[in-house]
Amino acid sequence: METINIICVDDQQEVLDSVMRDLRPLTPLVRLEEASGVADCLKLMEQIDDDGDFVAIVISDQVMPGESGTELLGKVAADPRFAKTRKVLLTGQATHADTIDAINEGQINNYIEKPWQPEKILAIVKRLLTLYILDAGIDYKEYMPILDQQTLFSKLR
Amino acid sequence: MIPLSDNITRALERLKRVYFSDAGRTVELAAGELLIGQGERTRRMYRIMEGSVISYREEDNQPSTHMPTESEGRRHEVFRADEGSFVCVQSFFSRAFRSSTSLYALEDTRLAYIDDTTPIVEQYEYGPFAQQFLPVVIHELAARNDRIFGRAAEREEAMRLLQRSEMAALLGQLSAGIAHELNNAVGVIARRTEFMAETLTEILESQDKLNAQLFLKGYEDTSFLSASDLRPVVRHYERDLGMSQNAARVLAHIAPSEAEYKKLSWRFVRNVKRNFRIWEMGHDLRDMQMAANHATGIVRAVKQMGAPSSAREPGVDVVQTVKDALHLLHNKLKHVTLKTEFKPLPALTADKSELMQIWTNIVQNAYDALTIEKRENPCITVTTGIFRAEGVSLLPQEYVTVTITNNGPRIPQEHIEKIYQPSFTTKKQGLDFGLGLGLSIIRRIVDSYNGTIGLTSTDEETSFTINLPTTQIHGND
């Protein structure tokens, strides 16, 4: 069976630990990966693609040393291999201009503010995961326990 | 002092020669002696030939025979006049013949005068008395103008300083209040986390030694491994040991290398597979404690900002304060190359926390400059040394210097001019915004040590140099 990955990107390990923990209910049906920065995330995505696996969602921090989250999500959006990958900006420090860029350049699907509510981030990720699985033509039945039922039914109707 | 045309200067020279050279019409005063009291009658107009006088407006209208001291009566200095100036000009020409202020000699002073009986000289050539004395009136007007403009500028500056100190005081009160509240809240978190860790260790010890070990490994974890370093190790453990990703991640933290893995017993590894969450719990408590410590540090810094009174003590090792400051910023500085070169320095009489505030602020600024512009190979260099100011005997001779250099962008000239002003900031992005108070506070602290701040900025690098004298001038501690 193929592996579906969700990648979290943040330069602060404590933040990564928290996001990973909040999304743990999705495992082991999907694989959670963490990346410490933009370059690391792109390398990881390359590897996942080489293995023939999927990147369903990238959840990125905005302010990181080196490139920003918006720049990362823009690159992901521009890569045809990851055209269906859902993009989330998770940040407490984005300015108005960053937010505009994130929507226009990063083509983000969701914007989550720090500090976040665990149930909310899990609900958002479930919804985006459901959309990705349907979009990518993956057999959704395998993933039923972690899919957003409402999204699933409205799409299948 | 007062700019006048050559014509007027020449005319004034003539008046001095013609009207103010009569030895019979001179007055000599010793320093501090009264020339004329406020409201007193006089028919004379004086020219200061030697020395200088000071003019006071007396609030209680009771001029004393000698210059009043600071504590005597309410009085305000109106002006000072030196050689070549005229006094009692207005009372003379207005024919009021009454002095509007009290005049005292500032030093031993000689004045020449004319009065309303002085005969007119060379009227045919130089015109009537009023015309001859027009330059004196102009001189007087120019002097008064100069005084008024000077006063206006002084008043404005005083208002500005007052506003600035009021703002600083308000911020100080505010931050002290917030600091107090936060300190209590953070204190509760820090202490209870510790209690929890102790209790859990005891409970686990009594039940299952392996779990207690696992918990402590999480609680005492000091490894700083990045996600990219861990990833291959996690995959390796998942595959080779048939572990879940989460358990493999914990094992990768405990044993990031083959050598460390070999030190573990198979029973311990088997326990990680089952109970990795116990490690995570320990690790969470560790993170909570670190976060609480971090918050405590911030609260302390805010508190210091609000409390200008400092405890200065002798024997402060400046190099150590620099090291402490860098340690505080350790987490941030891992993204830049940090180069240091510390020469041992003589001990200072100083407040350690003030010094640390200076260093952390400037290093933080350097870091911000490097990240905002996203420099390649960002680098901060911190050096310490001794500087001797030779030949300038009035200033302290020996200085301890700390130089903090970054290879960030050049600071534009217009920013350099405003850089120490409160509320000047370039950090307007996001939550990490600046109040613009950093360098103005640093300036205040450095001033209080009679130190100096040097700033040079080129396209290649920007460096701040703080010089602090090793000896404090008397009266300025």
pLDDT tens-digit series, residues A54-92: 999 999 998 887 788 999 999 999 999 999 999 999 987
Using DSSP, state whether B102 is helix, strand or coil: strand
Distance of CA A29 to the CA centre of its chain: 15
Using DSSP, state whether B153 is helix, strand or coil: helix
Taking the C-alpha atoms of residue B450 and residue B302, their distance in angstroms, rounded to an integer, is 24
> Tokens representing A115?
């500090």
Of B114, B142, B164, the residue that ends a domain is B164
- Angle of CA points A71, A75, A79, to nearest 5°: 170
Q: Name the residue with higher pLDDT: B305 or A147.
A: A147
Q: Is A44 close to B430, i.e. CB distance below 8 A?
A: no
pLDDT computed for residue B160 by the predictor: 81
Contact B422, B440 (CB under 8 A): yes
Select from A21, A36, A67, A70 the residue whose CB has the most chain B CBs within 10 Å, as the one to mutate to test that interface: A36
Q: Which residues of A touch B (CB under 8 A)?
A: 11, 13-14, 16-17, 21, 24, 27-28, 31-36, 40, 43-44, 63, 65-67, 92-95, 98
pLDDT computed for residue B412 by the predictor: 82
Contact B156, B18 (CB under 8 A): no
Selecting from A34, A66, A95 the residue whose C-beta is nearest the C-beta of B227 gives: A34
Q: Which residues of B touch A (CB under 8 A)?
A: 224, 226-228, 231, 244-246, 280, 283, 287, 290-291, 335, 371, 374, 429-432
Q: Is A13 close to B283, i.e. CB distance below 8 A?
A: no
Selecting from A17, A27, A36 the residue whose C-beta is nearest the C-beta of B228 gives: A36
Same domain, B157 and B14: yes
- The crossing angle, in degrees rounded to 10, of helices A38-50 and B227-241 is 30
Contact B242, B176 (CB under 8 A): no
Same domain, B16 and B151: yes
Q: Is residue B158 part of a domain?
A: yes
Q: Please report, rounded to a whole number, the percentage of residues in chain A having pLDDT higher than 70.
A: 100
pLDDT computed for residue A22 by the predictor: 95
Same domain, B124 and B18: yes
Same domain, B266 and B288: yes
Contacts of B305 (CB under 8 A, 6+ apart): B171, B172, B175, B357, B437, B441
Q: Is residue B324 part of a domain?
A: no
Q: From the CA of B283, how many Å to the nearest CA of chain A?
A: 10
Residues recorded for chain A: 157
Q: Is B227 close to A16, i.e. CB distance below 8 A?
A: yes
Residue A35 pLDDT more than 90?
yes
Q: Is residue B390 part of a domain?
A: yes
Q: Which CATH number characterizes residue B341's domain?
A: 3.30.565.10
- The crossing angle, in degrees rounded to 10, of helices B245-254 and B227-241 is 120
Give the closest residue to A54 by CA, choosing from A24, A20, A30. A30
Selecting from A16, A43, A65 the residue whose C-beta is nearest the C-beta of B371 gives: A65
Residue A23 pLDDT more than 60?
yes
Q: Is A98 close to B244, i.e. CB distance below 8 A?
A: no
Q: Is residue B67 part of a domain?
A: no
Q: Which residues of B touch A92 (CB under 8 A)?
A: 431
Q: Is residue B438 part of a domain?
A: yes
Same domain, B460 and B360: yes
Same domain, B27 and B154: yes
Q: Is B231 close to A44, i.e. CB distance below 8 A?
A: yes
pLDDT computed for residue B384 by the predictor: 92
Taking the C-alpha atoms of residue B417 and residue B409, their distance in angstroms, rounded to an integer, is 17
Q: Is residue B314 part of a domain?
A: no
pLDDT computed for residue B432 by the predictor: 40
Closest chain A residue to the Cα of B375, Cα to Cα: A66
Contact B437, B422 (CB under 8 A): yes
Site of tokens 């861990």: B230
Using DSSP, state whether B273 is helix, strand or coil: helix
Contact B369, B462 (CB under 8 A): yes
pLDDT computed for residue B77 by the predictor: 84
> Tokens representing B431?
């939550």
Taking the C-alpha atoms of residue B438 and residue B449, their distance in angstroms, rounded to an integer, is 17
Taking the C-alpha atoms of residue B21 and residue B15, their distance in angstroms, rounded to an integer, is 9
What backbone torsions phi and psi does residue B57 show, to the nearest 5 degrees? -95, 120
Sign of the C-alpha dihedral computed for residues B179, B181, B182 and B184 taken in this order: positive
Which helix (H) or strand (E) is B17 found in, with range?
helix B6-19
> Tokens representing B286?
């560790």
Q: From the CA of B423, how many Å to the nearest CA of chain A?
A: 20
Residues recorded for chain B: 477
Same domain, B45 and B87: yes
> Tokens representing B100?
């509007």
Strands B337-341 and B379-388: parallel
- Angle of CA points B350, B352, B353, to nearest 5°: 125
CA distances to A145, B27, B34 from B66, rounded to whole Å, are: 100, 16, 5
Q: Is residue B315 part of a domain?
A: no
Task: Determine how many CB atoms are found less than 10 A away from the CB of residue B292.
Answer: 20
What backbone torsions phi and psi does residue B397 show, to the nearest 5 degrees? -90, -35
Q: From the CA of B179, how many Å to the nearest CA of chain A?
A: 22
Q: Is A36 close to B432, i.e. CB distance below 8 A?
A: no
Count of structural domains, chain B = 3
Find the distance separating the first CA and the last CA of chain A, reported in whole Å. Answer: 26
Could you tell me the strand order of the sheet in which B26-29 lies? B26-29, B109-115, B44-50, B86-87
Q: Own/partner pairs for B439-442, CB < 8 Å, 24+ apart?
A: B439/B361, B439/B365, B441/B305, B441/B357, B441/B361, B442/B357, B442/B358, B442/B361, B442/B362
Contact B403, B464 (CB under 8 A): yes
Residue ranges in chain B modelled with pLDDT below 70: 1-3, 60-73, 224, 301-310, 331, 372-375, 390-396, 421-437, 472-477
Q: Which residues of B touch A27 (CB under 8 A)?
A: 244-246
Taking the C-alpha atoms of residue A58 and residue A45, their distance in angstroms, rounded to an integer, is 10
Q: Name the residue with higher pLDDT: B79 or A6.
A: A6
Q: Which CATH number characterizes residue B143's domain?
A: 2.60.120.10
Q: Is A93 close to B244, i.e. CB distance below 8 A?
A: no
Taking the C-alpha atoms of residue B62 and residue B354, their distance in angstroms, rounded to an integer, is 49
pLDDT computed for residue B96 by the predictor: 86
Of B131, B164, B197, the residue that ends a domain is B164
pLDDT computed for residue A66 by the predictor: 79
Q: Is B227 close to A66, i.e. CB distance below 8 A?
A: no
Same domain, B25 and B133: yes
Selecting from A14, A44, A92 the residue whose C-beta is nearest the C-beta of B287 gives: A14
Contact A61, A9 (CB under 8 A): yes
Same domain, B281 and B408: no
Same domain, B194 and B178: yes
What residues are paired with B457 via a beta bridge?
B462
Give residue-wise pLDDT tens across range B392-418.
Answer: 555 667 889 999 998 888 888 877 777
Same domain, B183 and B158: no
| Structural domain for B223, as ranges | 172-302
Taking the C-alpha atoms of residue B293 and residue B187, their distance in angstroms, rounded to an integer, is 9
Of B141, B164, B187, the residue that ends a domain is B164
Same domain, B11 and B133: yes
Q: Is residue B13 part of a domain?
A: yes
What is the pTM (predicted TM-score) of this model? 0.58
